[in-house]
Amino acid sequence: MAASGAPREHRVRVRGAHRPADGRRRTGRLTILGPVRIDLHTHSTASDGTDAPGEVVEAAAAAGLDVVALTDHDTTAGWAQATDAALRTGVALVRGAEISARSGGISVHVLSYLHDPAHAALLDELERTRDARTSRARRMVDLLGEDYPITWEDVLAQTAQGTTIGRPHIADALVAAGHVTDRSAAFATILAPGTPYYVPHYAPGAVAAVRGVRAAGGVPVFAHPGADGRGRVVADAVIEEMAEAGLAGLEVHHRDHDERQRARLDDLARTLGLFVTGSSDYHGAGKPNRLGENTTAPTVLEQIEELGQLDVIR
């Protein structure tokens, strides 16, 4: 099925007045005629996005989205603020996270939707990853050394309290110091894997991450599994193993996938009985990705809500 919402009638619960396609404003439980727009992958200042969590939801409302998921890297720290904004704006919120994982030296990102944020095993694992990300970022700052001098304080100055630290924050410090013009330039040159400054960080195995999400009552979806512009991507066999461990879906429609990857992943999803999502991977001003540039079908959101431990906030 196409990623963009099908122009059929879908029943969705929304709070307050909303954006029916026929232009009439109604309140309470209503039927929206026309496509329901669902974007299930965004980042805030709780990780490496540039909008605060509430601002991501406000931006989703302004972009005409009906449903948005907040999926910061390895943290749920933005959920409370995003929830307030969802209740205020009427945009439905899927609480999620993007979990860093690894498979044979390849970085793998597993989206988790609607999991118990207090589940001890998952919490421990995420904390371990966030700690490793911080040590790794410090190491990268050391390695940048005299070539691109920045201090750890320069990085912290780009980072909100409690944020999951990543290369984008180092990129921002490099921009602030005048070494590069923007994040994209930093990623294309200084911070790319293969440069002498790049350091990997600890992350759980891909299969373990899928199991951990399931154990916490979450719905695991493989984020941008075919993003080969960023480095090597995993083979079909790895996705098969993840599916056996409880993977629920593949994020097929993502700007980092060309038509070939989309076709491959669409086939694989069908073969393995996985659902297909499409999302923007919005990072605010930190990346060109625009909210709603890829979307997920309402029937898929229904499956996510059925499988997940938490409700969608409406």
- Note the residues at the interface with Fe ion (CB under 5 A): 98, 109, 223, 281
- For residue 286, the partner it binds in ligand AMP, Fe ion, Zn ion, none, with Cβ less than 5 to 8 A by kind, is ligand AMP
Closest distance of CB 56 from ligand AMP, Å: 14
State which of residues 38, 287, 308, 310 lies at the interface with ligand AMP (CB under 6 A): 287
Closest distance of CB 24 from Zn ion, Å: 38
Residue 112 pairs in a beta bridge with 97, 220
What is the token pair recorded at 209?
A: 């991450």
Closest distance of CB 83 from Fe ion, Å: 20
N residues, the chain: 314
Residues 83-102 that bind ligand AMP (CB under 6 A): none
CB 137 within 8 A of CB 153: no
Return the residue nearest Zn ion (CB atom). Answer: 48
Contacts of 288 (CB under 8 A, 6+ apart): 184
Closest distance of CB 165 from Zn ion, Å: 11
- 39 contacts Zn ion (rule: CB under 5 A): no
Give the x-and-dash track for 145-184 against ligand AMP (CB under 6 A). Answer: ---------------------xxx--------------xx
- For residue 179, the partner it binds in ligand AMP, Zn ion, Fe ion, none, with Cβ less than 5 to 8 A by kind, is none
- 48 contacts ligand AMP (rule: CB under 6 A): yes
State which of residues 3, 40, 45, 48 lies at the interface with Zn ion (CB under 5 A): 48
Would you tell me which residues interact with Zn ion (CB under 5 A)?
Answer: 43, 48
Would you tell me which residues interact with ligand AMP (CB under 6 A)?
Answer: 48, 166-168, 183-184, 187, 283, 286-287
